[in-house]
Amino acid sequence: MIKHVLVFLIGWAVLASPALAWNQPDRFQGVRWDASTADARKIAADRGEPFRFCFEAFPYQVCSTSAAVGPVDSTILFLFRDDKLVSGQLSFKASDFDAMKTQFIERYGPPTTQVEEPFDTKDAMKSVNRVLRWGGNAVLIELRAHGGGSVEMGTASIATKPEADRVAAERAKAKPKGKRER
């Protein structure tokens, strides 16, 4: 019995280690997860990165600013659901992807996965997109060399796991299920 428990624990540790090996952030751009819009606005201003504007994009309130992430100039979006910070997004020049990748690895450790995915541009061109992901029990991060159908812009998304799970469930629910039987 003890042997089976030890085998289970060792197996779990090996499988879980990639998710536990990186530094999951407890905040985004200095703003803790679940902070209110008002709290985030004050923290951003105190950091010298005041919100330029905020707008509603159901189900989110989105606030925008710009700042350097290391040497990379970025547009930064804070996404609030029910007045709580749940996600952050960055956009930057695709030519700065390697510098952004270095910043992320220095901050969060090695990604849990790295893939190259086929990518269709807005101009219907075919390309390959480098994608790095950090998956954990509290936060999920995705860094893309190209985002939004543009070869000129890279993107990063950092979200609480509950928010990422909620978005995935909403997408799955909205996805067409094929032909209905009549």
Owning domain of residue 89: 23-174
Q: Would 113 be classed as within a structural domain?
A: yes
Dist. CA 139–CA 161, nearest whole Å: 5
In sequence order, the 6+-apart residues with CB closer than 8 A to the CB of 115 are: 130, 131, 133
- Which pLDDT tens digit goes with each residue over 47-102? 999 999 999 999 999 999 999 999 999 999 999 999 999 999 999 999 999 999 99
Count of structural domains, the chain? 1
- Which pLDDT tens digit goes with each residue over 159-170? 999 999 999 999
The continuous run of DSSP H or E covering 2 comes out as helix 2-20
Q: Would 8 be classed as within a structural domain?
A: no
Q: Would 73 be classed as within a structural domain?
A: yes
- Which pLDDT tens digit goes with each residue over 122-159? 777 788 899 999 999 999 999 999 987 788 999 999 99
